[in-house]
């Protein structure tokens, strides 16, 4: 069986391919990407825990190519210790658990207002009307974006994500570059302004963060804003979309959650394992490494298939079954160690509030059609659209 994550059949349902790889080719050479794929839980987990052998350097360049929205400085995803350690410490001073926890009430208000906008209709699209705008608005307000620029911010967010698809159409390329340049100009002006006129927002906190007498440069802050746009929005949007799909396909599970709201957090963890929003991450070897009996040479690109690891029979009992009671649930959806997802707790919070709003404040709904188009991006999994109709 050939595994190529760019093929439509693989993107539609990658899990049979993952199963084959784990059983027959746990370290697999992908000619199409000129990279190795690692698929077993133990091996993926070991690679994540060893940034000195599996470097993050070059991740953004590989994803974006010459469409990298921040080419002048490395993104945090591209860095290894000690530079990554410095940057992460500074970011942690601004992006604190206390800050995330304080957002719950406001996220609920945003989710409620989005539901109110669609309640008067007979139908809505979950992705377009709810799961996409919710994290975009949250990130925009967290950064301090003015409300009147929210639509611009949403468009910029979409275009940063679209640039990862490496489009070749010249008109599309021009549109994306124009959009990203507009975002760059706006955010750089905001960063400069916050240095002289601080406010209660994340950009101000990033400007003021200091570690060992060093602060973040304007380029580093802009790269972090772009990272929040790309990773924060896409992860949450796909997590919510996958969660609703799972509930609609399992009516009995939907009834369980409606009857017991406390089941939502473990439900979210099982969604993260079962339908991992970010299916893989890229690394590069700094030395020759032996994995599952195969030697991966120095300087090789490696695709860590965390979504495959999350379905590994050696780690999870009946991994292809959705199990609300799964405990422990040691999925690798947010990574581990120094590259553990910065926005993991924010994504969990947004997903929880989103599901509570949809299940308890929204009229009952069903799928409008059984047809489903999934997003076509190398490392993401979620619905491109999810039309829903209100029950009468």
The segment with the largest mean pLDDT, out of 1-5, 148-152, 212-216, is: 1-5
Where in the sequence is the domain holding 81, given as residue range(s)? Answer: 8-390
In-domain check, residue 45 = yes
Band of the pLDDT at 117, cuts 50, 70, 90?
very high
Other residues' Cβ atoms within 10 Å of the Cβ of residue 266: 15
Q: Please classify residue 233 by burial: count the beta carbons closer than 10 Å to its beta carbon, then call 0-12 exposed, 13-18 middle and 19+ buried.
A: buried
**pLDDT bucket at 326, cuts 50 / 70 / 90:** very high
202 domain-assigned: yes
How large a percentage of the chain has pLDDT more than 70? 93
Q: Compute the distance between CA of residue 16 and CA of residue 43 in angstroms, rounded to an integer.
A: 19
pLDDT band at 111 (very low <50, low <70, confident <90, very high): very high
Find the helix or strand (DSSP H, E) in which 346 lies: helix 344-360
In this predicted structure, the answer to whether residue 64 has a pLDDT above a threshold of 70 is: no
Domain count, the chain: 1
Instruction: Give the mean pLDDT of 215-243.
Output: 85
Question: How far is Cα 83 from Cα 33, in angstroms, rounded to an integer?
Answer: 28
CA distance 105 to 45: 35
What is the per-residue DSSP string for 123-162?
A: EEEHIIIIITHHHHHHHHHHHT--GGGHHHHHHHHHHHHH
Name the DSSP letter for residue 305: -
Lowest-pLDDT choice from 110-114, 203-207, 235-239: 203-207
Structural contact between residues 322 and 264, judged by C-beta atoms closer than 8 angstroms: no
Q: Is residue 2 part of a domain?
A: no
Q: What is the pTM of this model?
A: 0.90
Distance of alpha carbon 28 from the chain centroid: 25
216-227: b or e for each residue (b if 16 or more CB lie within 10 Å)? beeebbbbbbbb
Asked, for residue 3, whether it belongs to a domain, the answer is no
Percent of the chain at pLDDT above 90?
Answer: 53
Report d(CA 392, CA 379) in Å as an integer: 38
- Which range, 236-245, 341-350, 366-375, is most confident? 236-245
| DSSP SS3 for 97 | helix
What is the average pLDDT score of the chain? 88
Q: Is residue 1 part of a domain?
A: no
- Residue 7: CB atoms within 10 Å: 13
Residue 13, pLDDT score = 94
Report, as an integer, the average pLDDT of 177-198: 88
> How long, in residues, is the chain?
392
On whether the CB atoms of residues 163 and 69 are closer than 8 A, the answer is yes
Tokens standing for residue 384: 């491109």
- Give Cβ neighbours of residue 351 (< 8 Å, ≥ 6 apart): 236, 239, 240, 243, 268, 271
pLDDT tens readout for residues 89-105: 777 777 777 778 788 89
36 touches 29 (CB < 8 A): yes
pLDDT digits (tens, 9 = 90+) for 129-147: 999 999 988 988 888 888 8
Q: Could you tell me the CATH number of the domain that includes residue 310?
A: 1.10.630.10
In a domain, 140, yes or no: yes
Render pLDDT for 240-291 as a digit per residue (tens, 0 to 9).
Answer: 999 999 999 999 999 999 999 999 999 999 999 999 999 998 999 999 999 9
Give pLDDT, residue 65. 60
| pLDDT at residue number 63 | 61
């Amino acid at each position: 069986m050939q595994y190529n994550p760019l093929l439509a059949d693989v993107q539609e349902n990658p899990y049979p391919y993952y199963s084959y790889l784990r059983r027959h080719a746990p370290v697999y050479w992908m000619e199409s990407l000129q990279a190795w794929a690692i698929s077993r839980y133990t091996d993926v987990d070991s690679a994540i825990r060893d940034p000195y052998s599996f470097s993050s350097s070059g991740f953004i360049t590989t994803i974006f190519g010459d469409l990298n929205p921040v080419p002048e400085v490395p993104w945090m995803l591209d860095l290894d210790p000690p530079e990554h350690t410095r940057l992460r410490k500074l970011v942690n001073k601004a992006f604190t658990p206390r800050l995330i926890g304080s957002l719950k009430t406001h996220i609920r208000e945003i989710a409620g207002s989005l539901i109110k906008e669609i309640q008067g209709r007979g139908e809505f699209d979950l992705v377009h009307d709810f799961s996409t705008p919710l994290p975009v608005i949250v990130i925009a307000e967290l950064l301090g974006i003015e409300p009147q620029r929210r639509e611009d911010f949403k468009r910029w967010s979409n275009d940063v994500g679209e640039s990862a698809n490496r489009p070749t159409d010249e008109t599309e390329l021009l549109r994306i570059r124009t959009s990203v340049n507009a975002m760059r100009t706006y955010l750089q002006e905001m960063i400069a302004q916050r240095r002289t006129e601080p406010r209660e927002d994340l950009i101000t906190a990033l400007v003021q963060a200091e570690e060992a007498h060093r602060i973040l440069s304007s380029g580093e802050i802009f790269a972090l804003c772009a990272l929040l746009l790309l990773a924060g929005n896409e992860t949450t949007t796909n997590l919510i979309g996958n969660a609703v799909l799972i509930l609609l396909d399992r009516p009995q599970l939907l009834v369980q959650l409606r009857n017991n709201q406390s089941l939502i957090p473990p439900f979210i963890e099982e969604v993260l394992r079962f339908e991992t929003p970010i299916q893989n991450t890229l690394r590069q070897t700094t030395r020759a490494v032996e994995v599952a009996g195969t030697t991966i040479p120095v300087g090789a690109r490696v695709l860590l298939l965390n979504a495959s690891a999350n379905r590994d029979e050696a780690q999870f009992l009946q991994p292809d079954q959705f199990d609300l009671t799964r405990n422990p649930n040691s999925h690798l959806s947010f990574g581990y160690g120094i590259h553990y997802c910065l926005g993991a707790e924010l994504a969990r919070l947004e997903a929880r509030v989103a599901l509570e709003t949809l299940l308890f404040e929204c009229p009952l709904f069903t799928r409008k059609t059984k047809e489903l188009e999934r997003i076509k991006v190398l490392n993401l999994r979620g619905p491109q659209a999810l039309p829903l109709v209100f029950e009468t």
